Structure 1
Amino acid sequence: MNHDCIERVLALSNAFGPSGMEDEVVALAKADTADFCDAAEDTLRNLYLRPRSNASKPGGCTIALDAHSDEVGFMVQALLENGTLRFLPLGGWNPVNIVGAPVKIQTRNGFVTGIVAAKPVHFMSEEEKRRPIDFDSLVIDVGTSDKAQTRALGVRPGDFVVPAVSCAFDENRGVFMGKAFDCRIGCAALLDTLRQTQTSPNHVIGVLSAQEEVGDRGSTLAAKKIQADVVICFEGCPADDSFESPDLIQSAMNKGVMLRAFDRSMITHPRFQRFALRCAEEHGIPYQVAVRKGGGTNGGIYHTYDMPTIVIGIPTRFAHSSVGFCSIKDYEGAVELAKAIIESLDKETVASF
């Protein structure tokens, strides 16, 4: 068990990085790779990592690795007279999944903690009890009694908010519990893969893309800036084993990496997908193939820029919630599969795609 990778996952999960405010994640990734990568950013806070070993490789193909650095979060919309906050979601939230959760607000004075609050059941009418929860019925309470006290904490409209959760690793079960595994577990896998493929004959580029959760905005810009022959997107994909019927489970935690064949954003490139499946089988890497009615990834952007793209997913229970689980075994499988693909690809194979 690699303790460096465990620490990397813990740090990235704990990092404050909702869509549009990925700075802390970018800083961690730059520090993690400073000994072997040149780093560059654009104005969306996409981070481009190029191993310095690429310069000594005269041939080979160019393989881009992508993982989005942002997490689903919130933004303060308004301060109310009673001191509570109206807020809006950044990314796809079911409001039920955040009620009662502690949150952390990044203010001009530092971080402020609060609780997402709904009207207590003691004060609800029967009609209100039957009504679905929506964000208009929720507030963030920071423990103050009026707007002036909240302003004194430094809270303002436009401040970013994430769940206040500390990541932990259970060594006995081999399971992480924390926030933002969509897609910080993918970011960790990308950084690990970059480090382990420096001697590959191919050129490998890492892209930590911004604002995926609000419309794949970072990857839309990155696709125009990189020149890659193929793209591998890492994802903290939603695990389905805790609620789906057995016949339809395709992203179970602890059952291997997920290779997405179809979702709303992409029909995965069939020849590249078959190549990835063969690599998994030849190297004994457990995998699952997922065909999804919904969802989408940055792959939906990259593949439209003439770059065959696959998605390697690490199943994450309760994605887009305040806290979830993922498995180190699935994480290690994702890194091993990406390495196998990178080491097996050559220009002739890519041309056959």
Structure 2
Amino acid sequence: MNISSLSEICKTPGISGFEKPIRDLIINKIEGLVDSFEIDNIGNLVAVKKGTSGNDRKVMVAAHMDEIGYIVKHIDDSGFLRFQTIGGFDPKTLTAQRVTVHGKKGEILGVMASKPVHLMSPEERQKAIKTEDFVIDTGLPKEEVEKYVEIGDPITREGDLKQIGECVNAKSIDNRVSVYILIETLKALQSREIPYDFYATFTVQEEVGVRGARVAAQHVNPDFGISLDTTVAFDLPNTQPHEQVSALGKGPAIKIMDAMAICDTRMVGYLKTTAKGASIEWQPEILSAGGTDTTGLQLMSKYGAIAGAISIPTRHLHQVIEMANTKDIDDCVKLLTEAIANIDNHDWNP
């Protein structure tokens, strides 16, 4: 794995609706790997690598580049920031979390502040914490805060990538690991012929309703669609096997369904066959809640796309730090590379 590249991708800011910094980084990394690219009106980055068969079929792979985060909605008289969450958060994970406010004059650090346990009543200690219970403390008075921050500025979680055992651990593994995988796949395909035009698409605003993929799919109108995203790895002690969804170290997860999409059985079968042919260990994924760009690819092309997904098992999703296995990540690159290169060798009849 290129750990330094993944680290840079995870660290670069880009919450939903504010993706320009991460998009600029991706453009820098894919230059020379694709025949062309464009940015659509909503902000999706659509890169094209031309196929060699002369067939007009299109393959679209989507990896959303946005991350969950916050936005400044109020500065109080003492300089504390109130915020709106962007994307799904478990409020208990916010406690004492460091954040970066991306203001009009650069970045300033802050920390999520809430009532100390020492001052809580017994009743308060039993109550579930809410996001409204937190403010962001920058350590600055209001007059200084307002020199740097204004309403509407984006806020990201703070945390560098670390290697822990066989895993990488960072903020925004969801879904920057898929951005990394798609870039590495483009590199791997430099030495391969591909049959159909390949649209490597880095989408926006997935975390707030799969918005970018819907727009991009209408524009590209793909015949085949593959979403790249993380999935739950609840492989912790005292969990039941049926609760796990996926597990770290057991290979890429091939999505069967989630709450927003039932994957085309042809694509599921193709990805399974491709994994087996390349001796890649894989695991099936059924996710009972949540969704991915799969639904946008499947539904929004003119005639619908034969769509599925490759998912990266990830622990601690939508928490302060997320974790994925390095071999799983490498195997996702291998699986996607083989799937793109050999997609014309499969029987796609209904």
Shorter-chain TM-score range: over 0.9
Q: Alpha-carbon deviations, 1:25-55, whole Å to 9, x = none?
A: 111111111113222102221001112xx17
How much does 1:56 deviate? 5.3
Does the CA contact (< 8 Å) of 2:214 and 2:296 recur in 1?
yes
Match of 1:117 among 103, 113, 117: 113
1:266 aligned partner = 261
Q: Cα–Cα, structure 1 residues 329 and 60, in superposed 2: closer, same or farther, change >3 Å?
A: farther
Instruction: Tell me the residue number matched to 1:129.
Output: 125
Match of 2:197 in 1: 203
* CA distance in structure 2 between the partners assigned to 1:33 and 1:150 by the alignment: 37
Q: Give the structure 1 partner of residue 138 of structure 2.
A: 142
| Counterparts of 1:176 and 1:284, CA distance in 2 | 23
SS at match of 2:225: strand
Matching residue within 19, 38, 44 for 1:46: 44
Q: Give the paired residue count.
A: 343
2:158 paired residue number: 164
Which moves more between the two structures, 327-336 or 235-244? 235-244
Output one character per residue of 1:307-352: Cα deviation in whole Å (capped at 9) or x when no partner.
11111011111111121111110111111111221222118733x1
CA distance in 1, matches of 2:11, 2:162: 10
Deviation at 1:126, TM superposition (A): 2.3
**Cα pair 1:194 1:204 within 8 Å, conserved:** no
Are positions 1:297 and 2:289 aligned together?
A: no
SS in structure 1 of the partner of residue 85 of structure 2: strand
Provide the residue aligned with 2:85 in structure 1. Answer: 89
Match of 2:14 in 1: 17
1:55-102: per-residue Cα shift (whole Å, max 9, x none)? 755237321111000001001110011211111110000111121110
Equivalent position of 2:222 in the other structure: 228
Q: Is the 8 A contact 1:61 1:347 kept in 2?
A: no
Contact residue 232 and residue 245 of structure 2 kept, 8 A: no
Matched residues in 2 for 1:292 and 1:208: separation?
Answer: 23
| TM-score scaled by length of structure 1 | 0.93
Secondary structure, counterpart of 2:332 in structure 1:
helix
Q: State whether structure 2 residue 171 is matched by structure 1 residue 179.
A: yes
**Inter-partner Cα distance in structure 1 for 2:3 and 2:250:** 19
**8 Å contact kept, 1:263–1:294:** yes
One-letter amino acid matched to 1:302: L
AA partner of residue 75 (structure 2): L
| Alignment check: 8 A CA contact 1:184 1:236 kept | no
Pick one of 29, 34, 39 that aligns with 2:31.
Answer: 34
State the alpha-carbon separation in 1 of the partners of residues 90 and 62 from structure 2.
26
Preserved CA contact (<8 Å) 1:60 1:346: no
Cα deviation for residue 247 of structure 1 reads 4.3
TM-score (norm 2): 0.93
Q: Which runs of 4+ in 1 moved over 6 A?
A: none
The percent identity for this pair of structures is: 26
Q: Which amino acid aligns with 2:187?
A: R
Paired residues of 2:52 and 2:196 also in contact (CA < 8 A): no
- RMSD over aligned Cα atoms: 1.7
Preserved CA contact (<8 Å) 1:69 1:209: yes
**2:234 is the counterpart of 1:240:** yes
Q: Distance in 1 between matches of 2:281 and 2:345?
A: 27
> 1:142-183: per-residue Cα shift (whole Å, max 9, x none)?
012x4223213x11111101111111235xx33211110111
Are the aligned partners of 2:52 and 2:195 in contact in 1 as well (CA < 8 Å)?
no
Q: How does 1:314-325 map to 2 (within 5 A)?
A: 314-325=312-323
| Alpha-carbon offset, residue 291 of structure 1 | 1.4
Corresponding letter in the other structure for 1:274: G
Instruction: Report which stretch shifted further, 236-245 or 184-193.
Output: 236-245
Find the residue that maps to 2:54 and give its secondary structure. coil
**Is the 1:116–1:141 Cα contact (8 Å) retained in structure 2?**
yes
Distance 1:169 1:28 in 2: 22
Counterparts of 2:91 and 2:255, CA distance in 1: 27
SS of the aligned residue for 1:67 comes to strand
1:64 aligns with one of 54, 60, 67 = 60
Q: 1:340 aligns with which of 323, 338, 341?
A: 338
Could you tell me which runs of 5 or more consecutive residues in structure 1 were left unpaired when the two chains were aligned.
Answer: none
Unpaired runs of 5+ in structure 2?
none
SS in 2 for 1:237: strand
Q: Deviations over 1:194-252 (max 9, x none)?
A: 22224222221110000000111111111110122101111122211126313443311
Task: Tell whether the 8 Å contact from 1:266 to 1:300 is kept in structure 2 after alignment.
Answer: yes
